[in-house]
Structure 1
């Protein structure tokens, strides 16, 4: 989903406001949809990623569009700051220099492949986000993960591990879907 600069800035403002609101109230910013243009009311799936000093500080999102874009950003910004179980809740002292990334996801498209080699050959480094599923095991990597795992094999092996599988796991029941993202970013000052 492509948005004009003014709409991108509104989403950044909503994410920041939701984090600030969360610091004061312990809840995500309530969103009144009619206050936003139709483009920001469209159903969309997002991830909000927070980084401090180029290190992950929180990342929460949705793989399927289940609510309007602006509401999804408000909820995910709050959740990334205060509900990512890997980190303590964000404190006000961490806001200065906090990097905020909003990834707006395209609809996932199932991939068709005959083997692990075939799957690896189809991957588009730097472009594809992947969802890997097998039984109760599920994991995703945003396209930005290619920055640290640049080879298709490393990307896939680490995604398997994230899903709770062995890096060398392979099964005919394995399902993989791909998606792309539009990313908006800002830094707190």
Structure 2
């Protein structure tokens, strides 16, 4: 993304933040149903291409299409003449209410491409530069302190009453990768989320606003794919057995797809398995995500 809003000033009050040794980190086991692969992202690319081609998308190429999960779909753009430049965020919206996976990916592939208020709708001419990532989320669990989480492993979702209108509740979330990707500390991440929620006045760690925070954490499993990967997938599906660069795919088939003898190639996944946090209540509204406005 070309620019981001500044993070609110980081200040502290006389009450020190808890030391890492004093924080009890949430636990984490993994479930296969929540492992995301590039096939989930490839499906989203096909949904977007199908929208422009005015056709129905392909059948889901993954097995867990009926699994009910919360998810986010993210679009980024890159430039082939500047391969070392960080991809720019182009849209990211998801839903915290678990829904059938294939249905959710179909809906949010389109919503994130056209309804993220931070960006103009994606155009068909941008397809060759697009990449997509899908994040499948574990259930939320409340934590006792705003810093009681692990960067890169946990996403955070915070709510607090607006200091300007106490009857109004403000909320924001950051996916697990945002904190390390931005190079933020945990305190900076929480303060940035407060600003993202709509309260842009300076916040002191430990002040009234900080103490009013209710924070929940969640894990995610992420799969990613580019438009070029999608072209390779379709070429193999059509029977050529070779990718766009002329190289054969694993066993002549896209990763994770089924043979006629019902055996599978190994899926390619872009993240390690995550641990499942205990059940918490789950917000139902969707919201845009990844970088602050």
TM-score when scaled to structure 1?
0.82
Q: Partners of 2:212 and 2:225 in 1: how far apart?
A: 40
Q: Find 1:185's aligned residue among 211, 219, 224.
A: 224
> Deviation of residue 184 (structure 1)?
0.2
Instruction: Tell me, yes or no, if the aligned pair for 1:46 and 1:104 is still in contact at 8 Å.
Output: yes
Aligned to 1:47: 72
Q: Partners of 1:153 and 1:4 in 2: how far apart?
A: 29
Q: Partners of 2:182 and 2:210 in 1: how far apart?
A: 26
Change (3 A) 1:167 1:41: farther
Q: Partners of 1:31 and 1:108 in 2: how far apart?
A: 32
Instruction: Tell me, yes or no, if the aligned pair for 1:134 and 1:174 is still in contact at 8 Å.
Output: yes
Aligned to 1:84: 116
Aligned to 1:150: 184
Secondary structure of the structure 2 residue equivalent to 1:153: helix
Aligned to 1:58: 91
Instruction: Tell me, yes or no, if the aligned pair for 1:2 and 1:182 is still in contact at 8 Å.
Output: no
Larger relative contact order, structure 1 or 2 (CA cutoff 8 Å, min sep 6): 2
1:12 aligns with 2:31: no
Instruction: Tell me, yes or no, if the aligned pair for 2:93 and 2:108 is still in contact at 8 Å.
Output: yes
CA deviation vs aligned residue, 1:130-176 (integer Å, no higher than 9, x gap): 10101320100111211114311111110110011235162543210
Q: Find 2:203's aligned residue among 155, 168, 171.
A: 168
**Structure 1 residue ranges, 4+ long, deviating more than 6 angstroms after superposition:** 30-33
Aligned to 1:69: 101
Show structure 2 runs of 5+ residues with no match: 1-30, 79-86, 162-168, 229-293
Instruction: Tell me, yes or no, if the aligned pair for 2:33 and 2:67 is still in contact at 8 Å.
Output: no
Higher deviation after alignment, 165-174 or 137-146: 165-174
Instruction: Tell me, yes or no, if the aligned pair for 1:100 and 1:185 is still in contact at 8 Å.
Output: yes
Q: Partners of 2:41 and 2:133 in 1: how far apart?
A: 9
Instruction: Tell me, yes or no, if the aligned pair for 1:160 and 1:167 is still in contact at 8 Å.
Output: no
More helix, by proportion: 1
Q: What is the RMSD computed on CA atoms of the aligned residues?
A: 2.6
Change (3 A) 1:106 1:4: closer
Q: Partners of 2:126 and 2:202 in 1: how far apart?
A: 35
Show structure 1 runs of 5+ residues with no match: 114-118
> Deviation of residue 123 (structure 1)?
2.3
> Deviation of residue 64 (structure 1)?
2.3
Aligned to 1:116: none
Q: Partners of 2:187 and 2:157 in 1: how far apart?
A: 15
